[in-house]
Structure 1
Amino acid sequence: MAAQYITDVHDVASSIPRGRVTTYGSIASFLTLGSARMVGWAMNKCLPGEEVPAHRVLNRKGELSGRNAFSTPTLMQERLEAEGVSVTDNKVDNFAELFWNPTELLE
């Protein structure tokens, strides 16, 4: 069961379009997991070589709260900026405009 939940989280994260972001809570709601922390735990299980864009998953305020899980604390920001996402003080600028809702997968 746990492996399926991690796979489901990674599948949703892999669907986030380049240059867009979502939140741990949005993924949790979409998958009916009940907790944004569960999504954070699953994102922390991304293995090297997996192409899960964990850098596109933020906290509800648009902050790069998962940045310390990356190999360097600036890598999350660097990856976002490489996609054209502006970040100031560890927070995505224009967060509301760049927000991607996982329910778009159902459309």
Structure 2
Amino acid sequence: MLAVVRRIPPGAVATYGDVAVLAGRPRAWRAAGNVLRGCADAATPCHRVVGAGGALGGYGGNLPLKRALLRAEGVEVGVARVRRFREVRWTPAVMNRARGSDTMNTASHADHGRRTRQAGRAARGRSGRSRP
């Protein structure tokens, strides 16, 4: 994943999900965040990786430094997110092809296991809700 982050050009950003897709692990956006959290390599521009929708995210608890680094590269940054995110988001052509196989954001996966829990409750004859 670090090799992907090194390819993000100055003045551009990518999301943790983008990094995961480009690394060949489209559902591993959380793992991408964990890898970058522990990255101390100065050659890896971790500050160019942001949360979904341009949210700045953590950066080791040093958001002022992340803002300063992005601004130095010409990225407009607000208090908590990248401004004009769609314009500065790095989207190489290979990523658009890779995203075609990603099903993480479909409705069937976006319920975070809720359907499975509901099915289990129904099988046991419980709704999961307590009544007064």
Shared fold per TM-score greater than 0.5: yes
Q: CA deviation at 1:103?
A: 4.4
Query: Is 1:25 equivalent to 2:17 in the alignment?
Result: yes
Which one of the candidate residues 76, 82, 102 is aligned to 2:72?
82
User: Unpaired segments of 5 or more residues in structure 1?
Assistant: 1-8
Q: Would the aligned equivalents of 1:64 and 1:90 in 2 still touch at CA under 8 Å?
A: yes
Mapping for residues 7-86 of structure 1, pairs under 5 Å: 9-33=1-25, 34-47=27-40, 49-67=41-59, 69-70=60-61, 72-86=62-76
**Separation (CA, whole Å) in 2 of partners of 1:21 and 1:42:** 17
- Which has a greater percent of strand? 1
- Structure 2 alignment gaps of length 5 or more: 96-132
The answer as to whether partners of 1:62 and 1:95 remain within 8 angstroms in 2 is yes
- Partners of 1:102 and 1:38 lie apart in 2 by 21
Work out the number of aligned pairs and report it: 94
Distance 2:24 2:39 in 1: 20
Instruction: Report the Cα offset of residue 75 of structure 1.
Output: 0.5
Alpha-carbon distance between aligned partners in 2 of 1:83 and 1:32, rounded to the nearest angstrom: 27
CA contact (8 A) 1:12 1:102 kept: no
Contact 2:56 2:63 in 1 (8 A): no
Normalised by the size of structure 2, how large is the TM-score?
0.65
Runs (4+) of structure 1 exceeding 2 A deviation are 102-105
Identity, % of aligned positions: 33
Q: Which has the higher contact order (CA 8 A, sep 6+)?
A: 1
